[in-house]
Structure 1
Amino acid sequence: MLLYEYMPNKSLDSFLFDSIKRKELDWAMRFKILNAIARGLLYLHQDSRLRIIHRDLKASNILLDNDMNPKISDFGLARMCGGDQVEGNTSRIVGTYGYMAPEYASDGLFSTKSDAFSFGVLLLEIVSGKKNKALTYKDDDNNIIAHANSKLEKHAHKEID
């Protein structure tokens, strides 16, 4: 059983995706939050006694304390790995699809890289202020990953020209 301290600011998604509250997240605060989440993942993946793969890292699973310090929460889907084990396989895919690494969603292969993929999606959400699966993207982009990739490709083509 895990017990959490009371987090008066609720979860990160309650700030990111609220048109009024998101204004409280300036660039310095967003960077502070991202940096702390990255440090938390580093601890789970490398520094804790057992390697922990979260498998459901997303904005609603990041709690914010009184000073807006983030805490990774909801370890219900997490897997502990012993020794130097860095990956695993499961026949039961669980988690939130918009944040799942492709190899996990399709084949059940999870690893620290799966959490890194989820962190990347979370990073894009924090920077853009939009949900991964929001239907507000122009053209054919149906999620934040495709949107970021199309922007990257357009920028890369400008550099080549």
Structure 2
Amino acid sequence: MPNKSLDTFLFDPAKQDVLDWRKRFNIIEGISRGLLYLHRDSRPKIIHRDLKTSNILLDKELNPKISDFGLAKIFGGDENQANTKRVVGTYGYMPPEYVMQGQFSEKSDVFSFGVLLLEVVSGRRSTSFYNNQYELSLLGYVSL
């Protein structure tokens, strides 16, 4: 993709200004439409399991494309939740029930989308943000 991934714009001080609020909104909307397709319209249903800014590619008009389905799980029939003994994904984007019990579903992707949304709005990485006053991560800080 000509503009590489979302994280190259969000976390590079030289490129951050390219993403005004309208572009950020369009990117968020595009990602949510992609997730809706994977969870509701695709047959079979697909759970991505590694949704993060580096897995969102941007075309020349900055339209987002969800990428890297290496950890994705395909659900068949009426299946809507699964368990695993091997938890995979990226720290900071995984929901607690997945990390602690290996349970994942489309809700896991929605949690990851929420983290991604916080990063798009704040322009800060969830895993490297620390507020010195409270010693919290980005997720901890916004839940105060």
Identity of paired residues, percent?
A: 60
SS where residue 99 of structure 1 aligns? coil
Aligned equivalents of 2:25, 2:129: Cα separation in 1 = 26
Q: CA RMSD of the aligned region, Å? A: 0.9
Amino acid at match of 1:28: R
| Alignment counterpart, residue 58 of structure 1, candidates 52, 59, 66 | 52
Deviation at 1:95, TM superposition (A): 0.4
Q: Which has the larger share of helix? A: 1
- Residue 41 of structure 1 is matched in structure 2 by 35
- TM-score normalized with structure 2 length: 0.97
Deviation at 1:15, TM superposition (A): 0.3
- Residue 16 of structure 1 is matched in structure 2 by 10
- Structure number with the bigger relative contact order (C-alpha 8 A, sep ≥ 6) is 2
Q: Is the 8 A contact 1:133 1:142 kept in 2?
A: no
| Alignment counterpart, residue 75 of structure 1, candidates 69, 72, 96 | 69
Unaligned runs of 5+ in 2: none
1:55-134 maps to which residues of 2 (within 5 A)? 55-134=49-128
Aligned residues: 144
Deviation at 1:144, TM superposition (A): 1.1
Unaligned runs of 5+ in 1: 1-6, 151-161
- Residue 134 of structure 2 is matched in structure 1 by 140
